[in-house]
Structure 1
């Protein structure tokens, strides 16, 4: 991509009423960002879904001037630009209709043919949340995943620090330009992250960490990854937005369950309750559900629960699944002679105890 091409891409990105979906539509029709800006307005109005109000600012030359200034920052700071039509753009994000038309990258990010997971959650992470996050990354390290997060307080920075501890690549998705660090206290981690990963953002050096930017940033976190894991979340929070976006992209979402009395588990429990996320009580359920294959002799151990800990109904279902392997909820209820609503509750308790796991297609099996 030449500097000339980039200037027009940046100029189009800077037009207030042209979002990423519209920009992609215009580029697909005209062939390039430069062709869009140089095209006659009446020709662009013939494109389905393009209205006059969207185009009123396209021809404003201030956007080209602003783009030239941003290009100067990009050059002076060795920023890598990832255009959505280029090979270096994150592959999974290419399939997201509202993915940014251009991303800015610092560090040594390498997402090619990698296992990419996002780890998000509350900024008020508890000690149990930290413990699970550590257990998760420690056990997944053998699969060498890239850990994606938002570089924020709490869960985000916990996950990224643990990734560094286990020599995993980690990428922070930012809600502002690459000329600043937010929160400022995390500046101490920037150099280390850029040595083994780096940062991605769609925002220019003129962008500050405004509230709406964080919501836009969340779609990059969800879109770059094959799965999103919510460690802890209150009933409302940005990590739930990320989970919803991941669901809209047909990506897997996992949530760590907690006690009903724990405020920082309410969001995770609701994701599981309303079937918006897989229950994640054992870290090794994640590679199993994602069909990750381990190309090494170092097999991580899966801790099984003792049979004597099961209740009477749980023992019946456990024995049935042990013999018959993967089974549907209806089949379990029929063969074990229990109402479906009761079986659903028993299965959930057994998941929490770590003796069974759900599979795609609403199947269940013994671990």
Structure 2
């Protein structure tokens, strides 16, 4: 109840982010229900469809955690501990708010699914997708409800773990905060990327020159290729903070001016906060480029169906929204520094130039990395 009362008094933009989480949850719930309907109509060959659903589910959980981190109602503030709202209680509220948003989306997904099957009549488009959703087969309600609880439970648990109270080491008074350490995930990221490309190459042996079918045609789709893509994406997410930190260092080389120096320091300071979302966005972009290479005009029949398009839209939208949310969190985190610079007389033009330099440096470094990994991922599948 406290989480619902806090939601009523929040800013409209915060409510919009929560509604976006609910919308993404509705899309994932609909995909899970479609997988269940396919399993009922075709008992064999539905495991890989469920594996494909894990990709948008993970993207939605990542987005839900990012929204929970930027929720102002769950930030510790002076005086809240006196009324029983300490860090632990605020973490529980964040997890409850995430569960409420995801449950709302799952409920909408169930209603839409039943409506398109024709089980709920009296509204426009009832039964419009009866053939696609196996309306001639009874829907196991217990299995449907079990699948729909996966996302709310996973997202709320992930939000609770991400926002759990942590003990910070004491800092002597009158000293500055120590500089952020260099992220050390680059070797591990390269290892996972290499392993993912190797697994994909091994899984595609014996079938050169043919693209793997997408979820609309799952019977002959090798699960090893999907596992290779997942390992590659995880490697990019692990290496993202180190690459972002490298962007900051490169900006400060060769006698930098004020704008380059400020942009580089900000990237180095915020490398861990925005690096992982950047790595995930690069992974999605590389997968998109690889899919465009595999399924071009010369690859034969177009394999993308409506459910594949929905899953791709969910993954792309959630990853981009997560990156924008992390960037907003980073902006709020350095708000005091920005105000101090303005009080010291720094022109607003300098801050805008610094932001433009940060964006250009990120594109200049992550763009070739994304393109190269996409070409390497598509190479063994195109023969």
TM class by shorter chain equals: under 0.3
Instruction: Select the structure that is richer in strand.
Output: 1
Instruction: Select the structure that is richer in helix.
Output: 2
The structure showing larger relative contact order (alpha-carbon pairs under 8 Å, at least 6 residues apart) is: 2
